[in-house]
Chains A and B, each alone.
Chain A
Amino acid sequence: MTTALLQVSDITAGYRPDLPILHGVSVSVSEAEMVTIIGPNGAGKSTLVKAIAGLVPISSGTVSVAGSNVTNLLTHKLATASIAYVPQTANVFTTLTIDENLKLGASTLSKAEGARRIAMAYDNFPVLQKYRSHKAKVLSGGQRQTLAVARALLTEPRLLMLDEPSAGLSPLMVSEVFERLKSLVSTGVAILMVEQNVKAALAISDRTYVLAEGRNRIDGPSSELAGDSQVATIYLGAGGRKR
């Protein structure tokens, strides 16, 4: 592990200049590494990934990808920076068809290349093929999540950011999604994901960061945090000592 693929250093960010949500958060992700971010509701987990994606302004600190500075990136340049991002909510266009959703995801590619990768996506996710000309609003929550991930992978990113990919899925689906993510990592894609399914996330990811009140609290190899009693305390919102 020389230079990290994603390096977030000490960022302050928020929706309004006078009200920072993140107070100096640092996170790093290496090539082909799976990193989880956990923390209580309102901790700033989504805000962190949004800030990396350029959707929330960063007032201090830096974000870099593979050594180049992408702080306050224009969001439409995410793909150029080799990042793909699946938001927590509203992550598909419900008024467009599955096919149109995928076509939008391929809009940074040439038409021919886009068509080729969309065909591959249909092979990988048969459920999408089945509904390809239906509006995305007919999809179930799990199917929408599948569509959102399939869309994100079209640009063949080096880093995939997922905000609660398992939200609202049945336990069976959760393990299925995580298995798929694991196999993605084995192909060399790095993953930064926010999760509420703490147990499953700790079991599958390489490293984990615990965030609370817009600050880093604990981080380390997931296997070590799994047995840490402090994680449970913070996670349950009991506060925990400031470190």
Chain B
Amino acid sequence: MLQALADGILTGSIIALGAIGLTLTMGILRFANFAHAELITWGAYMALGVLAITGVFAGPIGPFSFGLPLILATLVAAVLTAALALVVDYLVFRPLRSHTNHMTVVFSSFGVSLLVRMVILLIFGGSAEYYSDELQIAVRLMPGLRVMPDHLFTLGLTLVIVIALHFFLQRTRLGLSMRALAENPDLVRINGIDTRTVVRWTWIIGAALAAVAGVLYGMTVQLRPEIGFQLLLPLFAAAILGGVGNVFGAVVGGLIVGLAESFSVLFIPAGYKMAVPFIILLAVLYVRPSGLFGGMRGGAK
């Protein structure tokens, strides 16, 4: 039981990081971006690529499986993932957004997601990869609960990122513009703000968080080209559960989905695990159609 709780929180925090970016871009650009999960895969593999190219394997820090090189590789991966998101938005979504209807953009995101996955498969191959083959010793926190130091790191980092993002959204001009943009784009422009800049920053932040989520996933589980595909449903479930556009909601949604998945294997065969987020999603939407905490786009109601 305790172990399922710990596992659920771990998976949940990775889902949360991915879902934050998804909820921000969905809230602001108002379309379901199925390629978002692929940014997670892309970020994870870019970090792997950077590690492979630089070939540095300075020893791990303390009890963790990784060292400075992976941290630097993650930063580079975050930049490369943001670049991918900006390029895709510029080449695919932006022209479609202004000329065609909503569904075209959604379907184009399917296409983008396939393309990204194929590119990764082509470069890195389909077998499972790891950032490091260091063995870690699990720490026993209390009887019946053993966790890897990496897992604790993941939790800590997620917490720090969520708090930092909260302050960013509440206290900075850019954060304020992002929240405003989710409610009423024209009024943001009338206020003298160039919404294209705000949209770009939204992609950058969402993609960087996706890259971090990807690296954390690769570190705590393993790297496979279908990571994104497997996280797709949990991400959407988390974002919609929390209310589209609601960052805090996405975090809680991510935790709920993660916990539900890990507890479900205690009761149902593991093969059905993927259906769990979907069932929760349906159940919550039945009772609260705009998500647990409501969306950020109050004007659209």
Contact = CB atoms under 8 A, between A and B. Distances in A.
A96 B188 CA distance: 12
A82 to B, nearest CB: 11
B176 A90 contact: no
Contact of B188 (A74, A80, A100, A104): A104
Interface range on chain B: under 10, 10 to 19, 20 to 34, or 35 or more?
20 to 34
B224 interface: no
Interface string B155-184: 000000000000000000100110110111
A76 B185 CA distance: 11
Q: Name, among A85, A93, A108, the residue most crowded by chain B CB atoms within 10 Å (CB to CB).
A: A93
B297 to A, nearest CB: 7
Contacts of B191: 76, 104-105, 107, 151
A5 B296 CA distance: 39
A78 B173 contact: no
A87 B190 CA distance: 9
A14 B188 CA distance: 21
5 contacts: A55-B186, A93-B187, A95-B179, A100-B176, A104-B176
A75 B183 CA distance: 17
Interface string B237-252: 0000000000000000
Interface residues of A, number: 28
Interface of B: 173, 176-177, 179-180, 182-184, 186-195, 296-299
Nearest 6 Cβ contacts at the A-B interface: A75-B189, A108-B192, A95-B298, A79-B192, A76-B194, A104-B191
Nearest to B189: A75
State the majority secondary structure of interface residues on B.
helix
Interface string A84-127: 01010011111110001001110110000000000000000000
Nearest to A85: B190
A137 interface: yes
B193 A96 contact: no
Given A55-B186, A75-B189, A104-B180, 11 more contacts: A75-B186, A76-B192, A76-B194, A77-B192, A90-B184, A93-B184, A94-B298, A95-B179, A96-B180, A100-B176, A104-B177
